[in-house]
Chains A and B, each alone.
Chain A
Amino acid sequence: GAVVSQHPSWVICKSGTSVKIECRSLDFQATTMFWYRQFPKQSLMLMATSNEGSKATYEQGVEKDKFLINHASLTLSTLTVTSAHPEDSSFYICSVRGGAGNEQFFGPGTRLTVL
């Protein structure tokens, strides 16, 4: 399956700062990438679908001005959490889709803690 990496693995920042998370598809050209967030003991919640070369599609209730997504190439998508606040603390996971079974492959996740 596709190999997906994320950077950083974890980040701690002060309230009010912006944090950028990178998602790379290492062996697969992904025209579409997905960004999820996961709270402790909960399932994944889709935040947005990132489309290469065009604007991301955000799910209902997700603020696009707060969670900026850039998908500038077929192998890289970035999620920037702007003016982060403690309630943005979460586990952020990206994913790419491909393969015969329409499989989605997930990155290892980024743990964001906002103090």
Chain B
Amino acid sequence: EVQLVESGGGLVQPGGSLRLSCAASGFTFSTYWMNWVRQAPGKGLEWVANIKEDGSVKNYGDSVKGRFTISRDNAQNSLSLQMNSLRADDTAVYYCARNRGYETFDIWGQGTMVTVSS
């Protein structure tokens, strides 16, 4: 079964850091671009970042550029998101999503909640 499972969410203070992980299974992870997408409580979806199959290209949304870093370990079939300098408006459910073709997200994880609050 093709599956993505996120972990690492939790409560963090403003200015703090958190690292999210996404474990992939059921497909050849190393042959797909991967993404992080988030959704603030009661709000819409926001694309956060993506990374090329071999990790050589990374793109970020304007709201997280310079604070978040996406990475992957193809040997471990895992995707990560290092989040630094967290702000209250980073509070959201964070989903990892597989890319199909041109920025089409065909497989999603169940999401992990990040709450930034003092």
Partners in one complex: no
Binding site for A on B (CB under 8 A): none
